[in-house]
Amino acid sequence: MSAQQQRRSRRTRQNRTENKQGKTLSQLPRQQLINPVAPTELLSADEIESIHRSSLKLLRDTGINFLLPEARQYLKQAGAFIEPGSERVRFDPELVESLIGLSPAEISIHARNPENNIIIGGNHLVFDSVSSAPNCSDIIGGRRAGNIEDFRKFIKLAQYFNIIGCIGGYPVEPQDWHPSIRHLEATRDFIFLTDKPLRGYATERNRLLDALEMIRIGRGIDETQFARETSVMTVVNINSPLAVDTVMAEGIIEMAKRNQLTIITPFTLAGAMAPITLAGAIVQQNAEALAGYMLSQTVRPGAPVMYGAFTSNVDMKSGSPAFGTPEYMKSAIVGGQLARRYGLPYRSSNTCAANAVDAQAAYESVFSLWGAISGGCNLLKHGAGWLEGGLCASFEKFVLDVDMLQMVAEYLKPVKINQNEVALDTIDEVGPGGHFFGTQHTQERYKTAFYAPLISDWRNFESWQEAGAPEAAQKAHSVYQQALSEYEAPPIDAAIRDEINDFVARRTAEGGVKTDF
């Protein structure tokens, strides 16, 4: 039985179970989301051009530090100006302009299960899962340092929920694997536990190359096909202000060489690593994003790059980053305008700074979603599970976010206007003072007419109180537990499994990658 047949058989089995017991979680089907709503434009075309010109000026007069000599070499060859012995790279506006437009506006990302391939760009919209949190929590077990067991649970949730289109990265840092081999173990888990598109980490050149190689093996394809079919994403955070460190530059270079997707995301916190004014922070973000983009295009013109925005503000009293704020919303929307200015797909995030899955977590997240979706976001990173400004991956937040993402997906489904939907006959049949519960029009549609939420409690107060007055976080706890219990590992060909295991064994025997600790 082929992997695909196995999958089909499993799915049939699953449907049977659902039909008989009716107890499995009800979720939206796997789908390629399209955002049909015209993006919000907070700035005029002139103002966007003004930001572009200011960014060119910044790149020409101030420049960007590239710490990796190899990166400076690429840029110098392309015509950038570098003083001898300096890390500072300055760009002539004409050079910048000549590199804009090379990278594709729309990119397919291939998963090891082709049914899970995604399209990034255009009006496509993909949500991923929380990544890179040092801690994780649930309301029963409390907050704890990242570990393998929780790492796996989050991957399973990301695989289980159809609304999650790809794996954002390590949902939580699996700290009990030694850093020298952590990337090998974590990537093996990715490949075995999920068949959605994956991320490699640009934390060091050899780590990234190992991850790329493993994901290629996982897909069962050769290097030529791998270079033709983008299969890995990485995030490169520019070291704001105005610096690209060694591992980030290595990431951009290796990804570009292999035609894999780099998501360039300056982390421009207004008031800390960027000017306190939104205009200033956005200009800096834009110049930094262009700098990363240009390195990529000088390595291989046309390498896929995504424009990432993460401009937010800090709490000026404590210096803590704030998320899901009005300032965050505005920069998420303007970020989208800039990405489209450069013909690049756009990455935004589902963020919050809350320490608990409370009202704050929810409103900061939905404000983030409002900014991201209105801004024409193509890939929403940290789509599900982010808490504490990214310092914690929360299991309850994960399913709360899944529910909210599903609501966004339903919101984006066009309203159908036709005779059957308008149903004048039914309105006439019911007439003044009647109700629609019993009509044929209702009976034919009531099971699927509306989005059925995972979390929202719509009982009246009395019934809710009798049931113990559960708040959303408690409901989310039981939903995540149920999802884990329903999770099934995706099938994998035995030969591929063996090859992955052999690769990890060999690289582990070699000592993995060198670490300082």
20-49 positions binding a copy of itself, by CB under 8 A: 37-38, 40-43, 47
Residues 483-512 that bind a copy of itself (CB under 8 A): none
The interface region with a copy of itself, picked from 96-104, 152-160, 186-194, 264-272 by CB under 8 A, is 264-272
Which member of 202, 235, 404, 483 binds a copy of itself (CB under 8 A)? Answer: 404
Which member of 149, 222, 223, 358 binds a copy of itself (CB under 8 A)? Answer: 358
Residues 218-257 that bind a copy of itself (CB under 8 A): 239, 241-243
Comparison of 12 and 86: residue with beta carbon closer to a copy of itself: 86
How far, in Å, CA of 494 to CA of 500, rounded? 10
Comparison of 94 and 425: residue with beta carbon closer to a copy of itself: 425
Burial letters for 453-480: b for 16+ Cβ neighbours within 10 Å, e otherwise? ebbeeeeeeeeeeeeeebebbbbbbebb
Comparison of 437 and 517: residue with beta carbon closer to a copy of itself: 437
Output the CA angle 16-21-23, nearest 5 degrees.
110
Is 468 a binding residue for a copy of itself by CB under 8 A? The answer is: no
Residue 145 has, within 13 A of its CA and on its CB side, a CA count of 4
Is 451 a binding residue for a copy of itself by CB under 8 A? The answer is: yes
Q: Least Å distance between CB 83 and a copy of itself?
A: 14
Which member of 197, 271, 292, 385 binds a copy of itself (CB under 8 A)? Answer: 271
The interface region with a copy of itself, picked from 98-106, 293-301, 455-463, 490-498 by CB under 8 A, is 455-463
Pattern 183-222, a copy of itself, x by CB under 8 A: ----------------------------------------
Which member of 111, 164, 263, 272 binds a copy of itself (CB under 8 A)? Answer: 272
Q: Which amino acid is at 320?
A: S
Which member of 450, 468, 509, 514 binds a copy of itself (CB under 8 A)? Answer: 450
For 160, residues 6+ apart whose C-beta sits below 8 A from its C-beta are 483, 484, 486, 487
Please tell me the total number of residues recorded for the chain in this structure. Answer: 517
Pattern 288-327, a copy of itself, x by CB under 8 A: -------------------------xxxx-xxxxx--xxx
Which member of 22, 29, 432, 468 binds a copy of itself (CB under 8 A)? Answer: 432
Is 261 a binding residue for a copy of itself by CB under 8 A? The answer is: no
- DSSP assignment of 397-442 equals HHHHHHHHHHHHHHHTSPPP-SHHHH-HHHHHHH-TT--STTSHHH
For 205, residues 6+ apart whose C-beta sits below 8 A from its C-beta are 247, 250, 251, 254
For 425, residues 6+ apart whose C-beta sits below 8 A from its C-beta are none
Residues 144-183 that bind a copy of itself (CB under 8 A): none
Comparison of 357 and 379: residue with beta carbon closer to a copy of itself: 357
Comparison of 71 and 404: residue with beta carbon closer to a copy of itself: 404
Provide the 3-class DSSP secondary structure of residue 480.
helix
Fill in the DSSP letter of residue 200.
-
Which member of 152, 162, 206, 436 binds a copy of itself (CB under 8 A)? Answer: 436
Residues 78-97 that bind a copy of itself (CB under 8 A): 87-88
CB 355 within 8 A of CB 382: no
Using CA atoms in the order 477, 478, 480, 482, what is the torsion angle rounded to 10 degrees? 170
For 365, residues 6+ apart whose C-beta sits below 8 A from its C-beta are 324, 350, 351, 352, 386, 400, 401, 404
How far, in Å, CA of 246 to CA of 251, rounded? 9
Pattern 362-401, a copy of itself, x by CB under 8 A: xxxxxx--x---x-------------x--xx-------x-
* Residue owning tokens 């103002």: 47
